[in-house]
Amino acid sequence: MPKPRVALFIPCYINHLFPGVAVATMTLLERFGYEVIYPEGQTCCGQPFANSGAHEEVIPLAQNFLRTFTGYDYIVAPSASCTGMVRHHYDPYVGDDPAYAPIQQTTYEILEFLHDVVQPEHFGVSFPHTLTLHQSCHGLRELELGVSSERVMPYYSKVESLLKRVDDLTLLPMERADECCGFGGTFSVNEPDISVRMGQNKLDNAEATEAEYLAGFDSSCLMHLDGIARREKRGIKTVHVAEILAGTVR
């Protein structure tokens, strides 16, 4: 029986700044028996343009995405925000293109894919460190990787569930764990002072746990928080959850 074919969708900033996250994603997919293919025609999904109101510029990018990623069993990306863009916000840009519905149904963020589709009992890796988890906005509120604090319903976190399947890892709860870190894409450019203050608040809460690592599942959030931490010479380190699960943290 042939292996399911997974198209690896790597967002722009991960491709240029965090290639290790892309490698970790590929490592996880191959470890669990998937044939991983990197479609070379891929480019930006269009999210930065859409967030800035440059809607005409999104149209060719969205249409290219459909052409590039049609025909695979799954499409998997290490980014909640870009996955949310493709799955929930392409309608105005692709119209009634019949290729869109199948792509909506098969596009996953990597941790969502592991939890909902792969469902591994264990990852076979050790991470002998303490960490606390930043649950970013798009993952919680668009992909439902967990329940956000403003909703009155039983708590759950798919990401925490996955981390509990790693040996020797100690997960420490953080106050206001689902509060925005302040990055927000173009928000950090247009409102830098507010953005930085929100990031400082997030780091304060993370450091209060005395964890060695602040983990997350959006590299953009981690980039923002790591930048502030380095400038202010804070001791806490940032890491993408996929790198922990893959055992590729350096």
In a shared domain, residues 113 and 135: no
Whether the Cβ atoms of residue 134 and residue 211 lie closer than 8 Å to each other: no
The tens-digit pLDDT sequence of the chain (250 residues) is: 778 999 999 999 899 999 999 999 999 999 999 999 999 999 999 998 998 899 999 999 999 999 999 999 999 999 999 999 999 999 999 999 999 999 999 999 999 999 999 999 999 999 999 999 999 888 888 899 988 888 888 888 999 999 999 999 999 999 988 889 888 777 887 888 999 999 999 999 999 999 999 999 999 999 999 999 999 999 999 999 999 999 999 8
Whether the Cβ atoms of residue 98 and residue 74 lie closer than 8 Å to each other: no
pLDDT at 13: 87
pLDDT at 18: 94
In a shared domain, residues 95 and 193: no
Domain assignment present for 124: no
Domain assignment present for 26: yes
Q: Which of 90, 118, 146 delimits the end of a domain?
A: 118
pLDDT at 110: 98
Q: How many domains does the chain have?
A: 2
Q: Which of 118, 148, 164 delimits the end of a domain?
A: 118
In a shared domain, residues 84 and 60: yes
In a shared domain, residues 149 and 213: yes
- Residues 139, 142, 143, 148, CA torsion sign: positive
- pTM (2 decimals)? 0.94
In a shared domain, residues 136 and 230: yes
What's the rounded Cα separation, in Å, for the pair 232 and 191? 19
pLDDT at 153: 84
- Beta-bridge partners for 74: 6
Domain assignment present for 204: yes
pLDDT at 149: 81
In a shared domain, residues 94 and 154: no
Domain assignment present for 125: no
Whether the Cβ atoms of residue 8 and residue 29 lie closer than 8 Å to each other: yes
Which value, in Å, is the radius of gyration of the alpha carbons in the chain? 18
In a shared domain, residues 154 and 233: yes
Boundaries of domain holding 64: 5-118
